[in-house]
Amino acid sequence: MRLQRTVVVGAASRHGGTCEIADRLADTLSRGLPAGWNVIRTDLSDLRDLDDVDAVVLGSAIYFSHWMHSAGRALQHVKDAPLLDLWLFSTGPISDVESEDAQVLSADAMVASGQAVEHRVFGGRLDTTHLSWVERMAVRVAHALPGDHRDWDQVDAWALHIRDQLAAVPDPATR
């Protein structure tokens, strides 16, 4: 019997902005969860970090209209695991075409089927000075807007929402 319950926060990010969101989520959760909870922040390089945990918050930058490969692998790894809960988040796209900002990913289908609790899409950070020629062309075609579009109040509110849901689950050791 484990005395500690664990939530893992992991994310894949091409230029670091999505990982900064994961850092913020992990920090807010670690400060807000009651005693008995452990928060682990992983970069998804070792999928064993996702084994034998109670909950996972998993995110990815949307890159060329898809989740990044490492996040996709992690999602495959955990989607059928006996988790307490799975939360998903995506960052981007950042576009001046409003309908593109509201596009849903396969993560929404996982929520609908009960495999995940929730999927959130947050604005991302786009600094075109760090992009390759191909990335700059994709940004132009997608009408993506440079700048930092992350809403930290939204990120914090979602972390607190997750915290409240996790904190409400009775400790299996006391049942």
Using one digit for the tens of pLDDT, what is the confidence trace for 75-110? 989 877 776 689 999 987 654 444 443 334 566 667
Residue 34: CB atoms within 10 Å: 10
Residue 42 β-bridge partners: 10
- Check residue 62 and give its pLDDT: 81
Q: Which fold has domain 5-166?
A: Rossmann fold (3.40.50)
- 7's CB contacts (< 8 A; 6+ apart) are 29, 33, 37, 38, 39, 40, 53, 54, 55, 56, 57, 162, 166
Distance of CA 31 to the CA centre of its chain: 18
More confident residue, 167 or 1: 167
Mean pLDDT computed over every residue of the chain: 79
Exposure class string for 96-125: b at 16+ Cβ within 10 A, else e:
eeeeeeeeebebbebbeeebbbbbbbbbbb
- Check residue 121 and give its pLDDT: 86
Domain boundary assignment for the chain? 5-166
Mean pLDDT lowest among 66-75, 114-123, 149-158: 114-123
- Check residue 3 and give its pLDDT: 72
- Check residue 93 and give its pLDDT: 60
